[in-house]
Amino acid sequence: MKRSSIDGEQDGNSRIARFPLGGSGSGSGGVEAAGVLDSRILPDQEFMAQWDAVIVETSQKDRLLSQAILNFTLREKVNRSNLPLHGLIVLHGPPGTGKTSLARGLASRTAEAISKLGQFRYIEVEPHALTGAALGKSQRAVRDLLGQTVAEQAERGPLIVLLDEVETLAADRGRMSMDANPIDVHRATDAVLAQLDQLAAKYPHLLFIATSNFTRAVDGAFLSRADLIENIGMPGPEACRAILQSAIEELARAFPTTGRIPQDPEFERAAKHCVGLDGRRIRKLVISACALNKQTAIDPNRLTAADVLEAAIQAQEESKSVQE
């Protein structure tokens, strides 16, 4: 089932509020296993904030949340042979459109919506930590992480796992040359598929959310297992303006004078120059605007709409030069 949307934004890199393998509740130890970037109890307020900050169509967020909730309310009650729910949602689109933040927020919102199932846990996987040059290493690492670490946590209750940049783990075997890509890479993809099938069959209260910047590089068999494939595209004109305004509003929390910038006509021109930029780049241009001169860097209250416009123009020029 494939959908598309227009707007996206923001990222985050927190690694706090982890829980230990042997118990429940927040803890400082975390899930100590190869490939685990972050682990925590859900819902999580930081993830909630990321969900709110990502600017996409409301209907898209509703669709994602409904699909995630359905995973936990329907899967254990139906025959997978007739209704093949695998517990997998895939978010794809250009870098900087907010896929990771949206995935984290989705995990937290899902836990909030169906808290009656008990305490939700969250694991974020770092795929690059699972790949290695030694023959068979990637396959074993994937099998250990999914077959042991994830399975152990799924035994304890509802679990949501984020597979960020999943093309690293589930590379398209049909596009790879055996000369250029060692057989270990092929075996790693095989291991991912095998473990997904086993976990889906055994743990109905387990949900995987995968993100990819390059869906063409993801194996077709992996994508065929997805219950929902959602495109998180570049923000449209209205979303660009909303993202830029929210960035200014965040700055205004610390430097109140900047709060007047969205009322300046130059701000509207700056917003128009944001079209074609991803959400992360739009937010960063506000930082760039503060760094246009030393005086504003010392006191960001001096920032003007004209500065924001200049930074937006520069961002567009930089984006074009990179594409060339």
pLDDT tens-place values along the chain, 324 residues long: 433 333 444 444 333 334 444 333 333 336 777 789 999 999 999 999 999 999 999 999 999 999 999 999 999 999 888 988 999 999 999 999 999 999 999 999 999 999 999 999 999 998 877 765 444 577 788 888 999 999 999 999 999 999 999 998 888 877 765 554 556 667 888 889 999 999 999 999 999 999 999 999 999 999 999 999 999 999 999 999 999 999 999 999 999 999 999 999 999 999 999 999 999 999 999 999 999 999 999 999 999 999 999 999 999 999 888 776
φ, ψ (nearest 5 deg) of residue 168: -70, -35
In a shared domain, residues 197 and 281 = no
Domain-ending residue, one of 231, 260, 276:
231
Can you give the residue range of the structural domain that contains 299?
A: 237-323
- In this predicted structure, what is the pLDDT of residue 189? 87
Largest CA distance in the chain: 66
For residues 243 and 10, give the distance between their C-alpha atoms in angstroms, rounded to a whole number. 9
Rg (CA), the chain: 21
For residue 182, whether the previous peptide bond is cis, meaning omega lies within 30 degrees of 0, is no
Which CATH number do you get for residue 221?
3.40.50.300
- In this predicted structure, what is the pLDDT of residue 182? 56
In a shared domain, residues 48 and 99 = yes
Domain-ending residue, one of 231, 248, 276:
231
- In this predicted structure, what is the pLDDT of residue 320? 84
In terms of Cβ atoms closer than 10 Å to its own Cβ (0-12, 13-18, 19+), residue 177 is exposed
In a shared domain, residues 178 and 299 = no
Domain-ending residue, one of 186, 207, 231:
231
In a shared domain, residues 117 and 180 = yes
The total number of structural domains that make up the chain = 2
Please report, for residues 47, 74, 171, 218, the alpha-carbon distance to residue 102 in angstroms, rounded to integers and kept in the order given. Answer: 9, 23, 23, 20
